[in-house]
Structure formats: C-alpha cells, structure tokens
Amino acid sequence: MKNLLIVIYLVVFSTFADAQVIGDYQVIDYLASAIHPNGCNSDYVIGPPDDSTWVNFDANKKMSGTFTQHHKNYFGNELLLETSFHRDNYKVRLILSSGLFSKTYYVQLFQWIQLPKIDWYWTAPGCDSDTSHSREHLILPLDFETNFGITDFDTVIGIEIEFLKSAGASDLAGVYVVSKCPTNQCESAIQMPNVITPNQDGFNDTFSPIHSLGIVSMHTTIYNRWGEKLYDTSNLNIEWEAKKEVAGTYFWIINYTDEKGINKTLSGHVEVIK
C-alpha cells in the first residue's frame, strides 16, 4: 500500500489560565484510577499534580492505572512520570485500547530531572501515612513513539510500572499526559489524520483528531469530491465512520474556537481506504 499516513498540524498559541504545569510541561491528563501493589489508597497518585506520593516499594512490585481519556501519538513528549524522595528505576509499558501492551521502557536513575523540593504527604507499602516531609521532586518526560514504539494506529489508555531496585526503595507520585509548555504559554492544536481504514478492526476506523488541545468548540463538515455535504457535526471527536462511502478522497472543513475565544478555520482532505 503506497498510501502513507500524513499528518496536518494546526498550531496557534493560547494561555491556559487555570493550567497545571510541572517543570516546562502542561498537564492535559492524569490517572483516573490506579492499583497499589498492596491495595493501599490510590488517591496519592491519581488526579492532577499535588503533594502526595506512594513511597518505599519493594523490587518487582507492580502498579497499573488508566487515564481519564484515550490518547494518540502526537508531537513531542506525551508522558510525564513524577517521583519523590528517591531517583527510581522503573520498568514501564503502556496499556493500549486493543488490550495489548506497548514495548517496555527501562527508566534509569540518571534520567530523572530535579525540580525544587516540596513538602510531601506519603503512604507506605503497609498503607500507613505520614505528615509532610520536604524531599526531592523529580520528573521524567518520555515519548510515546521513541520510548514505547507507539504508532499512529495505537491508542494509549493507561500504564503499568514495575518498580525495580533503586538507590532507595522506589516511589511514585504521579503519571501524566503532557504537552510541552514553557512559561505557561501553551500550544493549542488540532492534529488530523489524512488516512482512515473503516474496516471495524478497532484501528484507525474513524476520522477523529489524533490530538487536540485548547479547543473549546468546533464544527466539522465533510464533503465528497463533487462538493456534496456528507457529514456535519459539532462533536469534538468528529467520529466520521464513512460507512456508506466508497474508497476515495474526501474533503473537510473545521471551524473552531480556542481558549482565547479566537475563531479559526482549518481544512484538508482524508483518504478513505476500504
């Protein structure tokens, strides 16, 4: 098949007034659920960034968790790991919507980025908790494609971490999906595919954004090559299945409003392969 997946980028700048930023990274998603190896409270690692953490895991213990949304491979680093107290060795793999896992990535002690210390509230493997302690704050940005082998046909829904022998017992403070965002000036973006294969195999079946950020509302219209309107929606996910359409090239227009209230228009084409 000579058709290649070509991606159209739309990038404009907007400010996220209530954004949460760790280092230079804008947090756009976080764990909605997590399973502690010993069944302790998950509140210390789920949700947006805060000052709570799990500490002191034995080697070869595992945790798993799912994000609030599903995510595609896009531009830059998409995953951010957060730890406290110790620089940690992890064995990490991503959970895919297909029920499979990504390839495994091994985190090494030297890779962690040091941030200013903060006061942590923590819970230990015995599920006992303590008051705050001023200790290290460390992050590690990773790329879906480079580090985990994620392709444009994969959808990431969660993560599995195996804690390995570290300088101290391993800790985990949070797992986030991020966008690079220096000094709070974040990119708002829509990234659309140029090819879909609606064969109901669970991969690339619908025309939907590969990634969108900072989009408040949008309206999408899809036309055939003769200019006849085929699909019209205000759904942010679009989800055009092209069920009744033959293989070929179709054209789309997206009118959207970003977080600054600016109205923009994006247009392009998509190849339907059946």
Query: Residue ranges per domain, the chain?
Result: 7-11+186-272, 20-180
Average confidence (pLDDT) over 174-185:
69
The proportion of the chain whose per-residue pLDDT surpasses 70, expressed as a percent, equals 89
Buried b / exposed e along 52-84 (16+ C-beta atoms within 10 A):
bbbbbbeeebebbbbbeeebbbbbebbbbbbbb
Q: What pLDDT was estimated at residue 191?
A: 75
CATH pick for 7-11+186-272 out of 2.30.29, 2.60.40, 2.70.98, 1.25.40: 2.60.40
Residue 143's CB is within 10 A of a number of other CB atoms, namely 15
Residue 109, phi then psi, degrees to nearest 5: -55, -40
pLDDT tens digits for range 80-109? 999 999 889 999 999 999 999 999 999 988
| 3-class DSSP state of 144 | helix
Binned at pLDDT 50, 70 and 90, residue 73 comes out as confident
CATH of domain 20-180: 2.60.120.260
Contact 141, 77 (CB under 8 A): yes
Question: Could you tell me the two tokens for 8?
Answer: 């159209």
pLDDT tier at 232, thresholds 50, 70, 90: very high
If pLDDT is split at 50, 70 and 90, which confidence band does 10 have? very low
CA distance 256 to 265: 6
Worst-scoring range by mean pLDDT, 42-56, 102-116, 188-202, 251-265? 188-202
